[in-house]
């Protein structure tokens, strides 16, 4: 799966609805700001509809299609007027892009609209590189990082080379690949709460590999995976810190890493 | 109602197909060939590929220029490997050409086997370049057991019977679309000696079938690099 | 060896996670198959096209299944074989027992067959006085130990060689008790000798079939050991047991599927032995079975054909989804309770045994999608697991607590203004718990999360609120104007 071709005549300054995702909204606003900054750097006008909540994935994956569909309709109402809808998450973008049409296929009022929203929804990094053709990263991060391919982005949306392509442009950054970058970290939404021991073993493997690279920071494009990985790193007392891709790419204003505070960090903050 | 009626009835209900709907139109894919590139090439290329692929799967290969030299070559190989010099040979007339019965250092008998033979010598239908496989069939002169029960299976492959892919090998037993009893009872593609990795995923060779698969490749072919024969 | 559905995946999983031998075996399996797959698919540029072809073949066959089964039956019958249609496990077991009795059989040799596991055939035949010997090395080991396969193509992957050596010493009591059984080679040799006697003594051989070819009436059996060949050729009677979805139209179709089968299963180009067998021994043949019987089993397939689950009938039992699944890699096949572990089990077991019995399985997936990515037949396994979750939700099979939590969350998510208020409150609470440290060790109501990891404390403030503060006027959705709060 690779990104589809951009529209024939892309708007000069596209109006982009930023779907921040519920985790970024609650846990890490800085990712939202970083995403908005990147979109603006790539020549977009960014809007953040205030009534946005969640993409509905927790309900959809729990078999609660009625609630998932209700939330999907809500999201469609809110975002369908934009030229593009962009999310700093492969998982949530994948929900809109790959699953809304299925979820609403029997809804005569929404089937077509769901498809239209799906067609213009993108994961942030892919939107920048493949839709905007923009790679003018102006950022510096003179340290070693490793990168975890978040599953939904990788397998539903083909996010693989694009983030690496952008990381290459970050001044001073050294990418050390994981042995198995594309193996699940064990997050899986509610999976990690329903099956904590299994999920724990999976994230432990991931952390082993991260530590083995010797990198100072682990990056990924999905906050769910990152919170899982950061939480395990912390539990194990590892020094490696976790950050969303957008934070590094957006440029100078970089705060403490996930789960670190200016006090607890002592690091790059 | 028999179980047959039940099952077919449920299938037709599930598919919404009436009974006696007849054969479906040929699917689109049926007319589009999808043979891997590695199954294609000149005879010389295919021969080289066959040898390379067969070697990868632990098949040993010996070359003889003509059919008459096969018996001597086998005797020499068995002796060099420290294997018994007595072999059961497929009771098929094609085996007469190989000088098996009068080769010094080789004792043969033509028969099927129940497992007391340690070495077998059989003909093959084809060598398949795609994966280094050989194709063997069951017939009146080619009992199936010779390919499986002895510890050492020696298969004779003619260079001009080396084909590219599985389909090409099948064309040699099924040129007229044979079905049912017009086909040999068994058609087998063998790719290396018997093996298993059931214990700790460690590959061990020689489980139920042969521990060694040795090919005697008969003849050579023009067209190798620098005008050499392959 | 009847399989048992355990309702408690979590409990099974916990046992598996505590087994360090199993854990190292699973880690090796996943590492090895990952590497082998990348090498072997890298060598065949047409691999992805072949997957598409295989999907097209199976979809076409399934859409015309009655036709191809009837064609197959007619050709088997013309070739002198007998076709027995069986609705369910009971019918298949009785039919097979009757064939064995009609031929005065005492010893039955068996090739590896997952469908025979489905119908718990061995137990039944043994209970009716037959000696049944599994001949696949892995299955033979499991039979001696009274266990079931934990992987579709590597059935004894959960065992260490020391355990197998002990099993051989316990059962092969006529051999020198001090013989060396240190390496797999020693045990393979011993099994070869033991099983060779059985091959030669067996009256009936029972095998599965990887494919059935409609146009020729042939069956296809692939093995690496050669046991499938000895099982189907040495005994007087050969019984094939195959489920109805195994049929393909033509020889060429079988060849296309063969090109992806072993590559997906074991990372080999092709297995050592690929045998196409058609009917019983011919009059002039020197060996082969006098009788050829084919059991065509439904056992729930026609139900799957009806609806959303039809895609799973493309499955060719290669086990790629198991080898590639990180959940399988953490717990192994037995934790799934049913005949099939891993993603394919999470989809098939509810179909075979009922979703009420198998419920937790479709939920035990992180939906990482690797199963679908490696499945040679492109079966949308996560999507099918989600279908089961839909059904379980409708039938209220999931845990009450989880349902309540989800309902509360959804209720709020459908009311953006209220959701935002709730978010602010939740954040304040978390901040209180997290204090100035960046992580929370224990969080009320989030025990599942903090079992294995800390909860990173939020940065503070929601993005929407902060953005609004910074960008007044840009927050309006541009269509409905309904922006909440």
pLDDT band with cut points at 50, 70 and 90 for residue C211: very high
- What would the pLDDT profile of A70-124 be if each residue is shown by its tens digit? 999 999 999 999 999 999 999 999 999 999 999 999 999 999 999 999 999 999 9
Cβ–Cβ pairs < 8 A, chains B and C: 261
- Put simply, the answer to whether A48 touches C464 (Cβ < 8 Å) is yes
Section A159-175 average pLDDT: 97
Q: What is the DSSP string of B187-230?
A: EEEE-SS-EE-TTTT--EE-SSS-SEEEEEEE---S--GGG---
Question: What average pLDDT does this structure show over C81-91?
Answer: 98
Please tell me the predicted confidence (pLDDT) of residue C435: 60
Instruction: Determine which of B182, B185, B193, B206 to mutate to test the interface with C (most C C-beta atoms within 10 Å).
Output: B185
Nearest CB among A25, A59, A191 relative to C365 is that of A191
pLDDT tens, residue by residue, C151-160: 999 999 999 9
Let me know the angle formed at the C-alpha of B192 by B191 and B193, rounded to the nearest 5 degrees: 135
- Residue C223's CB is within 10 A of a number of other CB atoms, namely 27
Interchain pair A183, C480: CB under 8 A: no
Q: Which of A60, A156, A195 sits opposite C369 (nearest CB)?
A: A156
Contacts of A265 in chain C (CB under 8 A): 438
- Which candidate, C158, B142, A247, places its Cα nearest to that of C167? C158
CA C237: distance to chain centroid? 29
Count the neighbouring beta carbons within 10 Å of the beta carbon of residue B44. 19
Q: What is the pLDDT of residue C477?
A: 47
Does A1 have pLDDT greater than 50? no
Report the C-alpha gap between C325 and A176 in whole angstroms. Answer: 24
User: In chain B, where are the structural domains located?
Assistant: 39-194+203-224
Size of interface A-C (CB pairs under 8 A): 261
pLDDT band at A156 (very low <50, low <70, confident <90, very high): very high
- Interchain CB distance below 8 Å, B21 and C67: yes
Quick: pLDDT tens for C4-40. Answer: 556 689 899 999 999 999 999 999 999 999 999 999 9
Say if the ipTM goes beyond 0.90. Answer: yes
Q: How far from C188 is each of C155, C233, C273, CA to CA, in Å?
A: 15, 22, 18
Position B63 confidence tier, pLDDT thresholds 50, 70, 90:
very high
- Distance between CA atoms of C348 and C361, rounded to whole angstroms? 10
Q: What percent of chain C has pLDDT over 70?
A: 94
pLDDT confidence bin for B221, thresholds 50/70/90: confident
The verdict on a CB contact (< 8 Å) between B207 and C53 is no
pLDDT reported for residue C479: 37
pLDDT at position A11, please? 61
Distance CA C179, CA C7 (A): 42
Is the pLDDT at B223 greater than 80, yes or no?
A: no
Domain A15-131 top-level CATH class: alpha beta
Quick check: C440 pLDDT over 60? yes
Nearest CA in chain A to C427: A26
In CATH, which superfamily holds the domain spanning B39-194+203-224? NagB/RpiA/CoA transferase-like (3.40.50.10420)
The predicted pLDDT at position C427 comes to 87
Region C89-107: mean pLDDT is 98
**SS3 category, A163:** helix
**A144-265, what's its fold?**
Rossmann fold (3.40.50)
Confidence of residue A3 (pLDDT cuts 50, 70, 90): low
Token match 């590139």: residue?
B37
Cα C168 to Cα C156, C161, C334, C353: the distances in Å are: 14, 10, 22, 33
Tell me whether chains A and C touch (3+ CB pairs under 8 A).
yes
**What is the rounded end-to-end Cα distance, in angstroms, of chain A?**
37
Per-domain boundaries in chain C: 44-303, 416-470
Look up residue B224 and give its two tokens: 């190798």
- pLDDT band at A249, cuts 50/70/90? very high
Q: Which residue of A has its CA nearest to C458?
A: A27
| Chain C residues with beta carbon closer than 8 angstroms to that of A63 | 386, 388-394, 398
| Contact across the interface for C365 and A151, Cβ inside 8 Å | no
Helix (H, G, I), strand (E, B) or coil at C456: strand
Helix residue ranges per DSSP H, C206-286: 227-233, 251-265
Q: How far is CA C294 from the centre of its chain?
A: 23
pLDDT tens digits, C322-344: 999 999 999 999 999 989 999 99
Does the pLDDT of residue C483 top 80, yes or no? no
Q: How far apart are CA C137 and CA C193, in angstroms?
A: 12
Nearest Cβ partner of C226 from B22, B148, B174? B148
* SS3 call for C194: helix
> Which of C75, C155, C284 has the CB atom closest to B179's CB atom?
C75
Of C32, C141, C279, the CB nearest to B180: C279
The pTM assigned to this predicted structure is 0.94
For residues C475 and C483, is the Cβ–Cβ distance under 8 A?
yes
Query: CB B198 to CB C57 under 8 A?
Result: no
Distances (CA, A) of B202 to B197, C29, C45, C123, C321: 5, 11, 28, 30, 21
Interface test with C, best of B10, B198, B202, B204 (most C CBs within 10 A): B198
**What is the pLDDT of chain C when averaged over all its residues?**
92
Q: Which CATH number fits domain C44-303: 3.40.50.10420, 3.40.50.720, 3.30.360.10, 3.10.290.10?
A: 3.40.50.10420
pLDDT value at position B121? 98
Quick one: average pLDDT of C394-417? 91
User: Is residue C321 over pLDDT 70?
Assistant: yes
């Amino acid at each position: 799966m690779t990104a589809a071709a951009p529209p024939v005549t892309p708007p000069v300054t596209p109006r982009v609805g930023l779907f921040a995702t519920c985790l970024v909204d609650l846990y890490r606003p800085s990712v939202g700001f970083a995403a908005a900054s990147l979109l603006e750097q790539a020549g977009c006008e960014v809007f953040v509809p205030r009534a946005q909540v969640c993409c509905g994935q927790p309900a959809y994956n729990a078999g609660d299609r009625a609630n998932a569909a209700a939330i999907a309709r809500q999201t469609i109402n809110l975002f369908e007027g934009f030229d593009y809808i962009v999310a700093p998450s492969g998982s949530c973008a994948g929900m809109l892009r790959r699953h809304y049409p299925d979820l609403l296929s029997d809804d005569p009022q929404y089937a077509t609209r769901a498809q239209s929203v799906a067609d213009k929804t993108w994961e942030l990094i892919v939107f920048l590189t493949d839709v905007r053709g923009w790679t003018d990263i102006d950022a510096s991060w003179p340290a070693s990082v490793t990168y975890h391919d978040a599953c939904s982005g990788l397998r539903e949306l083909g996010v693989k080379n694009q983030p690496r392509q952008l990381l290459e442009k970050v001044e001073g950054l050294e990418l050390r690949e994981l042995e198995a970058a594309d193996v699940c970290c064990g997050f899986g939404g509610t999976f990690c709460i329903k099956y904590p021991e299994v999920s724990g073993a999976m994230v432990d493997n991931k952390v082993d590999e991260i530590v083995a690279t010797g990198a100072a920071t682990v990056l990924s494009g999905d906050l769910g995976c990152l919170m899982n990985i950061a939480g395990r790193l912390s539990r194990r007392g590892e020094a490696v810190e976790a950050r969303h891709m957008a934070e590094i790419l957006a440029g100078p204003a970089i705060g403490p890493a996930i789960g670190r505070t200016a006090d607890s960090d002592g690091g790059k903050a | 109602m028999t179980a047959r009626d039940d099952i077919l009835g449920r299938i037709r209900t599930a598919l919404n197909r009436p009974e006696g709907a007849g054969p479906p139109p040929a699917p689109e894919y049926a007319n589009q060939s999808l043979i891997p590139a590695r199954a294609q090439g000149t005879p010389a290329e295919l021969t080289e590929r066959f040898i390379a692929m067969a070697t990868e799967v632990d098949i040993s290969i010996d070359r003889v220029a003509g059919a008459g030299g096969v018996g001597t070559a086998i005797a020499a190989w068995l002796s060099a490997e420290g294997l018994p010099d007595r072999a059961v040979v497929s009771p098929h007339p094609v085996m007469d050409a190989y000088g098996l019965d009068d080769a010094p250092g080789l004792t043969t008998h033509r028969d099927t086997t129940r497992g007391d033979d340690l070495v077998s010598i059989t003909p093959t239908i084809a060598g398949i370049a795609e994966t280094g496989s050989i194709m063997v069939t069951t017939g009146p002169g080619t009992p199936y057991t010779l390919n499986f029960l002895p510890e050492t299976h020696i298969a004779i492959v003619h260079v001009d019977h080396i084909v590219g892919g599985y389909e090409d090998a099948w064309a040699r037993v099924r040129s007229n679309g044979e079905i049912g009893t017009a086909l040999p009872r068994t058609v087998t593609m063998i790719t290396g000696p018997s093996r298993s990795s059931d214990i700790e995923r460690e590959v061990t060779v020689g489980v139920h079938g042969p521990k060694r698969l040795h090919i005697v490749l008969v003849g050579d072919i023009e067209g190798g690099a620098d005008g050499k024969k392959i | 060896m009847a399989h048992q559905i355990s309702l408690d995946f979590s409990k099974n999983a916990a046992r598996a996670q505590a087994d360090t031998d199993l854990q190292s075996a699973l880690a090796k399996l996943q590492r090895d198959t990952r590497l082998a797959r990348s090498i072997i698919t890298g060598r065949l540029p047409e691999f992805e096209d072949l997957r598409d072809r295989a999907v097209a073949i199976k979809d076409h066959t399934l859409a015309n299944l009655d036709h191809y089964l009837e064609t197959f039956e007619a050709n088997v019958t013309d070739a002198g074989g007998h076709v027995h249609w069986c609705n369910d496990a009971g019918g298949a077991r009785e039919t097979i027992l009757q064939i064995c009795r009609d031929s005065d059989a005492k010893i039955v040799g068996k090739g590896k067959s997952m469908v025979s596991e489905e119908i718990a055939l061995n137990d039944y035949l043994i209970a009716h006085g037959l000696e049944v010997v599994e001949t696949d090395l892995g299955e033979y080991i499991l039979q001696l130990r009274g266990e079931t396969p934990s992987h579709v193509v590597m059935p004894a992957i959960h065992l260490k060689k020391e355990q197998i050596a002990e099993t051989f010493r316990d059962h092969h009591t006529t051999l020198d008790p001090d013989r060396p059984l240190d390496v797999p080679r020693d045990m393979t040799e011993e099994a070869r000798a033991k099983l060779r006697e059985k091959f030669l003594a067996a009256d009936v051989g029972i095998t599965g079939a990887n494919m059935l070819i409609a146009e020729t009436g042939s069956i296809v059996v692939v093995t690496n050991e050669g046991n499938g060949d000895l099982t189907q050729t040495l005994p007087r009677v050969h019984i094939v047991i195959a489920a109805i979805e195994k049929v393909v139209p033509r020889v060429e179709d079988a060849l296309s599927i063969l090109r992806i089968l072993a590559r997906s299963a074991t990372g080999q180009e092709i297995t050592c032995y690929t045998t196409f067998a058609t009917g019983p021994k011919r009059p002039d043949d020197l060996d082969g079975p006098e009788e050829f019987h084919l059991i065509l089993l439904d056992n729930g397939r026609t139900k799957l054909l009806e609806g959303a689950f039809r895609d799973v009938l493309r499955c060719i039992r290669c086990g790629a989804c198991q080898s590639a699944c990180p959940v399988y890699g953490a717990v192994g096949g037995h934790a799934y309770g049913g005949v099939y572990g891993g993603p394919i089990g999470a989809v098939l077991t509810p179909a075979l045994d009922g979703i009420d019995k198998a419920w937790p399985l479709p939920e035990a997936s992180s939906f990482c999608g690797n199963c679908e990515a490696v499945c040679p037949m492109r079966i949308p396994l996560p999507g099918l697991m989600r279908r089961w979750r839909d059904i379980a939700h409708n039938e209220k099979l999931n845990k009450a607590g989880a349902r309540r939590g989800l309902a509360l969350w959804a209720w709020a998510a459908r009311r953006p203004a209220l959701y935002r208020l709730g978010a602010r409150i939740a954040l304040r609470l978390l901040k209180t718990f997290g204090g100035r440290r960046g992580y929370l060790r224990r969080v009320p109501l989030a025990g599942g999360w903090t079992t294995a990891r800390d909860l990173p404390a939020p940065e503070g403030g929601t993005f929407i609120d902060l953005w609004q503060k910074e960008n007044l006027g840009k927050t309006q959705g541009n269509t409905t104007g309904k922006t909440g709060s």
